[in-house]
Amino acid sequence: MAAPVAFQLLHANTTYVNARFVKVFTKYVEIGRVAFIAHGKDSGKLCVIIDIVDQNRALVDGPCTGVLRQALNFKRLHLTPFKIKIPHSVKTKIVRKKFDEGEILKKWQETTWAKKIEIKKKRAALSDFDRFKLMRAKQARGRIIRTQVNKLKKEAAKK
Amino acid sequence: MADEKKKKAHSCRNKLLTGGVSRYGRSAMYERTATYKKKWTVVKKEKVKTPAFVEKQIGGDKNGGKRLVRVKRSPRYYPTDELPPRKRSRKKPFCEHKRNLRATITPGTVLILVAGRYKGKRVVFLKQLASGLLLVTGPMKVNGVPMRRINQIYCIASKTKVDISKVELPDRLTDEYFKKKKLRKPKHQEGEIFDEAKEEYTVSDERKEDQLKVDRQLLPIVKAVPHMKGYLQSPFFLSTKQYPHEMAF
């Protein structure tokens, strides 16, 4: 009777998916969590959660990304997979030091999330001429791919 | 006067306050500009005296051969009543209107025509005419748009520009040149009710000549920029999820 036993062993925050125990939440709001500000004046910037004010707000600081130390609502923050080790309510100087040591910005630029944001920005800034050139480039690429696929199909059909 | 020209001119010593009043009155300004120091050299202009009468020769017999004719003719009508002076209207006629041009539209800009016979075409902007309308050309060989006038409100100015500085436009390209000519309707004959053979519009040789002249200069410039010819050839369209207010042109 393996199944009932497995269910009893369920921990908090885990579910059983595809024959595996999977954690439901992996990124937590905690001191040192690097967050992405999604709305407001500083939208698009990274910040570090320094302290929790109450149920809705966190004290946040982003000396390396131009975010002033302030209280932000959690609803504005999207948690990133990055964390730095700081005690609560540290000085901005220490936050800057730990942020640079952890190379958070560099790691952030390498994530797909940050890359997608960049792509969106580039697409929005394309001029009409750029859009035309993009269309032609896509057509040319498609043409190359299609000719190769058709070639392979033909060879496969012959066999 | 000569002193002023030698030194750099001083900025205005007076200031205009709200209400159209100057900060300093006449006497204060006299002192500030040191008008008492200025030496006024008056150059007497020689008055050219024009004769009041001119001798004119007359042909024919027994007329005296010549007459003294006034140079300035005396008026043929003297009004009996003095009319009230006409107020100067601030309404200007169309020819005196101030013409604006969007800052994004400069000679050589590629414009997207959004209305009219050539809507959807991408054309090259040549210059703004005196009436304020924009002179554009396809070039004709590229997309079939001839040299034409359009209003800037029917154009989207793209960021793409072509270098037109070396292109010489013929002088005769004015608003008169492009104005629509009224085609003569044939006069009604007795008994004929319907219009027969209306005069059709034909392109004048002038237009063809000028079009060639301008296009010949433009085509090598267009061909020099990669993809530009294809860009001008293809029409502009919006597809799904493309919202003009969110796009950059």
Interface contact B230, partner A, CB < 8 A: yes
Closest listed residue to residue B164, CA positions, set B215, B226, B103: B215
Residue B86 has pLDDT above 90, yes or no: no
- Average pLDDT over every residue of B59-82: 86
Beta carbons of B227 and A126 less than 8 Å apart: no
- Average pLDDT over every residue of B20-30: 91
- Average pLDDT over every residue of B146-153: 96
Percent of chain A at pLDDT > 90 equals: 83
φ, ψ (nearest 5 deg) of residue B203: -70, 130
Closest listed residue to residue B206, CA positions, set B172, B180, B176: B172
- Look up residue B152 and give its two tokens: 């800037």
Average pLDDT value over all residues in chain B: 88
Residue B222 has pLDDT above 90, yes or no: yes
Q: How confident is the model at residue B35 (pLDDT cuts 50, 70, 90)?
A: confident
How far apart are the CA of B110 and the nearest CA of chain A, in angstroms?
9
Q: How confident is the model at residue B90 (pLDDT cuts 50, 70, 90)?
A: confident
How far apart are the CA of A110 and the nearest CA of chain B, in angstroms?
27
How far apart are the CA of A46 and the nearest CA of chain B, in angstroms?
25
DSSP assignment string, A27-55: ----TTEEEEE-SSTTTT-EEEEEEE-SS
Residue B3 has pLDDT above 90, yes or no: no
Q: How much is the pLDDT for B39?
A: 86
Q: Are B122 and B231 a contacting pair, CB within 8 Å?
A: yes
Closest listed residue to residue B102, CA positions, set B146, B49, B155, B147: B155
Peptide bond preceding B235 in cis form (omega within 30 of 0)? no
Q: How much is the pLDDT for B192?
A: 58
CA distance A85 to A83: 7
DSSP assignment string, A62-124: ETTTTEEEEEEEGGGEEEEEEE----TT--HHHHHHHHHHTTHHHHHHHSHHHHHHHHHHHHH
- Average pLDDT over every residue of A31-43: 96
Interface contact B235, partner A, CB < 8 A: no
Q: How much is the pLDDT for B40?
A: 84
The complex scores an ipTM of 0.71
- Look up residue B82 and give its two tokens: 């003095």
Beta carbons of B227 and A129 less than 8 Å apart: yes
Residue B1 has pLDDT above 50, yes or no: no
CB pairs < 8 Å spanning A and B: 35
pLDDT tens sequence across A51-61: 999 999 999 99
DSSP-assigned letter for residue B96:
G
Q: To which residue do tokens 């790691």 refer?
A: A107
How far lies B206's CA from each of A60, B164, B243, in Å? 72, 22, 42
Q: How much is the pLDDT for A1?
A: 45
Largest Cα–Cα distance in chain B? 94
Q: How much is the pLDDT for A3?
A: 52
Beta carbons of A132 and B158 less than 8 Å apart: no
- Look up residue B20 and give its two tokens: 């159209």
Q: Point out the least confidently predicted range of A122-136, B109-123, B172-186.
A: B172-186
Mutation to test the B interface, candidates A123, A130, A132, most B Cβ within 10 Å: A132
First-to-last CA distance in chain B? 54
Residue A103 has pLDDT above 60, yes or no: yes
Return the residue of B nearest to A133 by Cα.
Answer: B227
